Amino acid sequence: MQFDTILEKVKSFLRDELLPIEATLRHQAWEEKLPLLNQLRDKVKDLGLWTPQIPQHYGGMGLNVAQFGAISEILGASPYGHFCFNCQAPDAGNMEILLEFGTEEQKEKYLLPLLAGEIRSCFAMTEPGYAGSNPVNMGTIATKNGDNYVLEGHKWFATGADGAAFAIVMLLTDPEGGNPYQRASQVIVPTNTEGFELVRNIPIMGDVGGGWESHSEILISQCHISRSHLLGEEGSGFTIAQKRLGPGRIHHCMRWLGICERAFDMMCERAATRELGHGKRLMDQQTIQNWIAESRAEINAARLLVQDAAHKIDTIGAYRARTDISIIKFYCAKVLQDVLDRAIQVHGALGITDDTLLSFWYRHERGARIYDGADEVHKTRVAKQILKQYASR
């Protein structure tokens, strides 16, 4: 299938199948909307568009990062786009981890059902007592006990943990090791394991959420897990995390572009139709015109940056493109916030209600400047890489 044909099929699916029922889905609890979402997922499978980012050998479309970026932007226009195509976070990242580091037994038990959309998963790294932007600093520990690990720790902001079949947990297997980058490992923990407790779904700007839309707090106490659940080598947790978070960050940026385009479209439509009296409309106001021009330029610039980073990942790898990934992470997050804020302002009081998607995105995507590395962390990293060249002269 030609890639242009694939893009058209994805656009048609959103236009004809998802967007007409989107408002209904947004106002339902997770348990209520899941049957309808599963019907849409079955249609995506029938169209041959399932898991576009996964190799064909495993039932996916085998698209590269740049191609997936184009699809991801289309899907980002709806809060449920990525879920319908089984390429949503955190499952997409966990699929990639299991593909690269999972044993054949782990792939059979966890990866294949995940790829088929039969189960969900979550990723547990962030902890209440430690800075989330420092992945080598954590308190969850795995102690060896024969053929098992005994896990003790406290995690939170584990997206999608509510209803997930398993979690990939990052923890310390060598807390006193001399190299801080080799102290951590990652293990697969079935969520029904004794000692693995979902404490609560954390409200995000007032939204508690459920199922895949949740962000959960987890308590791990005397949780015994077989050492066969270890991903990769012991001590490779940091390396695995970097391989996961690099592509994960660019996936977020791709999705944000889709949100920006939808919000931009809503802003322009509102400006063109909202009457102010005396024959004037919002679109006649210079301030509104400035916001529209600025938003268009910023979205276009963000897209080019993302496409360039995606191309570099495809050609030289995520590690060598890490500075470019940091650049798009903080730049696109800022563009997203600015476009949403302008769109809300143009809608006036309507913009802060749940009658539009704008308030939903404003609540849930404020975290874009925090998760997967706060803006400030990425800016510092980029600046250090640039200045290093000057300091060495």
Per-position pLDDT tens, the chain of length 393: 899 999 999 999 999 999 999 999 999 999 999 999 999 999 999 999 999 999 999 999 999 999 999 999 999 999 999 999 999 999 999 999 999 999 999 999 999 999 999 999 999 999 998 877 677 789 999 999 999 999 999 999 999 999 999 999 999 999 998 898 999 999 999 999 999 999 999 999 988 889 999 999 999 999 999 999 999 999 999 999 888 877 788 899 999 999 999 999 999 999 999 998 888 999 999 999 999 999 999 999 999 999 999 999 999 988 899 999 999 999 999 999 999 999 999 999 999 999 999 999 999 999 999 988 899 999 999 999 999 999 987
> What is the pTM (predicted TM-score) of this model?
0.93
Angle at 157 between CA 155 and CA 158, to 5 degrees: 75
Q: For residues 86 and 123, what is the distance between their CA atoms, to the nearest angstrom?
A: 16
**Contacting residues for 52 by C-beta, under 8 A, at least 6 apart:** 6, 60, 61, 63, 67, 68, 71, 85, 87
Q: Which residue has the tokens 């990942």?
A: 313
**Class at the top of the CATH hierarchy for domain 3-102:** mainly alpha
Peptide bond into 135 cis (omega under 30): no
Model confidence over 32-52: pLDDT tens digits?
999 999 999 999 999 999 999
Same fold, 3-102 and 239-391: no
Distances (CA, A) of 5 to 44, 112, 257: 15, 27, 21
| Contact by Cβ (8 Å): 264, 298 | no
The full set of domain ranges for the chain reads 3-102, 121-231, 239-391
Report the Cα–Cα distance between both ends of the chain, in Å, rounded.
Answer: 51
| CATH tag for 121-231 (out of 2.40.110.10, 3.30.70.790, 3.30.160.110, 3.20.20.70) | 2.40.110.10
Model confidence over 134-166: pLDDT tens digits?
777 899 999 999 999 999 999 999 999 999 999
Strands 215-226 and 184-190: unpaired
Q: For residues 25 and 33, what is the distance between their CA atoms, to the nearest angstrom?
A: 6
Instruction: Identify the three-state secondary structure at position 324.
Output: helix
The CATH H-level superfamily of 239-391 is Butyryl-CoA Dehydrogenase, subunit A, domain 3 (1.20.140.10)
Got the DSSP string for 104-153?
A: HHHIIIIIHHHHTTS--EEEE---TTS-TT-TT----EEEEETTEEEEEE
E-strand ranges in the chain read 121-124, 141-145, 148-159, 166-172, 184-190, 196-201, 215-226, 230-231, 275-277, 280-281
Q: Which residue has the tokens 């191609």?
A: 67
